[in-house]
Amino acid sequence: MPIWLSTLLVLGLSVAIGIGSSVGLQLLFRLKPTDEEKEVAINLMQVVAAYIGIMLAFAGVVVWQDFADAQVAVHQEASTTAELYRDLSTYGPETLAARQDLRSYVESVIKDEWPLLREGKSSAATEYALGEVFEEFGRIGPHDNRSSAIYQESFSKLNDLVVFRRNRIIASQTSIPLIFWLVGLVGSTLTIAYASAFSRTRYNLMMISGTAITLGLVFLFILTVNKPFKGNLSEPSSDFLELTSNFDQLDRQILRDEGN
């Protein structure tokens, strides 16, 4: 769903719930509160609004941090993969098979695993492709101090790659629990419902609508970034798409150096 459409739906629904929970209660129960009852309603509204505001603020910080962690995990995995490929290229032609397996891993991340991240799942095909990289690494035999140093550094980065991939998968599984949505929606509705103690003037209706829109914007933000790999602001796989061209460029550079 486009972001503009989801924004209209959420804000429209928020205003409808806000007006319905305040004006609707007045019409349904024919409320005519006294000045004392209005004062009690204002005090209760402030208490409920404070608790709901704290909860929404905390949830907003949490989902944004999770979204940022997902971005970091993707960038770290992609950059480590690029560095690993460069190290293998520096090692020599003995690592050609390992480089091909690393290419296959990147392709599997894009084609097989990325769509599954929307559901917080990993790909068995990608796991197998990563295992092939390890298996090919085991066949590389360093023969001098230079190759041993490059091999150790490359193997360290390969292990880092496993960690960063795991972080990416874990980041795809983070989400706000259902109880938050239940408490947040009910609490927000109750907050605006206390406005039924006020007169149905144009000014009061504007204030109720403004409060409902504000709450709707907060819920829209949380809903949009709740799943880092799902929705309109989902983390794109552009980092991995760029790797293939980087690999090709590096291979061409190596061929030119060997030709000279």
Q: Using a CB cutoff of 8 Å and minimum separation of 24, what contacts does 2-6 make?
A: 2/232, 3/224, 3/232, 3/233, 6/220, 6/223, 6/224, 6/232
Mean pLDDT, residues 123-147: 93
Mean pLDDT, residues 143-150: 90
Q: What is the pTM of this model?
A: 0.82
Determine the Cα–Cα distance for residues 245 and 137; give it in Å rounded to an integer: 23
Per-residue pLDDT at 232? 62
User: What pLDDT, in 10s, does the model give residues 78-99?
Assistant: 999 999 999 999 888 889 999 9
Dihedral angle sign, alpha carbons of residues 41, 202, 9, 222: negative
Q: H helices of the chain, where?
A: 3-29, 35-91, 96-108, 114-117, 124-138, 145-172, 178-193, 202-225, 238-259
Mean pLDDT, residues 218-223: 93
Decide if pLDDT at 233 tops 70: no
Per-residue pLDDT at 260? 58
Per-residue pLDDT at 100? 95
DSSP code string of 141-192: ---SHHHHHHHHHHHHHHHHHHHHHHHHHHHHT----HHHHHHHHHHHHHHH
Are 195 and 45 contacting, i.e. CB atoms less than 8 angstroms apart? Answer: yes
Per-residue pLDDT at 18? 87
CA distances from 214 to 122, 183, 201 (A): 37, 17, 20
